[in-house]
Every structure is written in structure tokens, then in C-alpha cells.
Amino acid sequence: MLEETTEQQLLQRLDTADGKEALFFHTPFCGTCRLAERMLDIVAVTGGIVQVSKLNINFAPTLRDRWQISSVPCLVILEQGNPVRKEYAIGSVVDLHRWLARDGESVR
């Protein structure tokens, strides 16, 4: 199960972030978001992935605007606290595992 974070908690953590992590933007009543979250839960159980947190976009106006998040679900891959990739189409567990692998290929 993904850990829910607040925008304030995340902003504080991003200032000192080191390495790769991911943030899943969602809304509670979005069916596609729920499906994507279930796939993320499956990937998390397999291990070997970076930390993934989730954030309700309705309570994240600063990051939504700063990173220009246009819709949900949106998975943002971060390196050293900076977004390096945004994925809106969460197609498969295999894709998620590849994007979130700790020691895998570099993200684009």
C-alpha cells in the first residue's frame, strides 16, 4: 500500500532529496487512479523499486502548478528532488517496474 503524503511534507523532503523516488498524483474518486494504484501496489510487493508516495492533487496546488500536472493519474519520477519524467498512461505492471527500478536503466 502506498504511503500518503501531504504537499507540505513533500516540499520539505524535496529540499534534501538524494537519489530517485516517485510520486503518484491521484484523486479519491478517479477510477483510473484506483486501478493505477493497485498496479503500483503489485509492483511494490515485487521489490527492487524506489520509494513511491501518493498525493491527492486537490491538496497540492503548488506542485501541480510548478510541475504542470495536467491530469490524473500521474506518476512523477524524481531524481534529487527534481521531476525527470511524468507518466499519465499507466499501461502495465511491467512498465511500472521498469520506470521504478532502483538499479535499472536511467529514466528519461
The rounded distance, in Å, linking the Cα atoms of 22 and 54 is 9
pLDDT at site 25 = 98
| Mean pLDDT, rounded, of the chain | 92
**CATH homologous superfamily for 3-100?**
Glutaredoxin (3.40.30.10)
**Domain extents for the chain?**
3-100
pLDDT at site 107 = 38
pLDDT at site 28 = 94
Q: Do the Cβ atoms of 33 and 72 come closer than 8 Å?
A: yes
| Consecutive 10-residue averages of pLDDT for the chain (108 residues) | 94 90 96 97 92 97 97 96 95 94 58
pLDDT at site 47 = 87
For the record, the C-alpha cell of 45 comes out as 510487493
Read out DSSP for 87-102?
A: E-----HHHHHHHHBS
List of residues 6+ apart from 62 with CB closer than 8 A: 7, 11
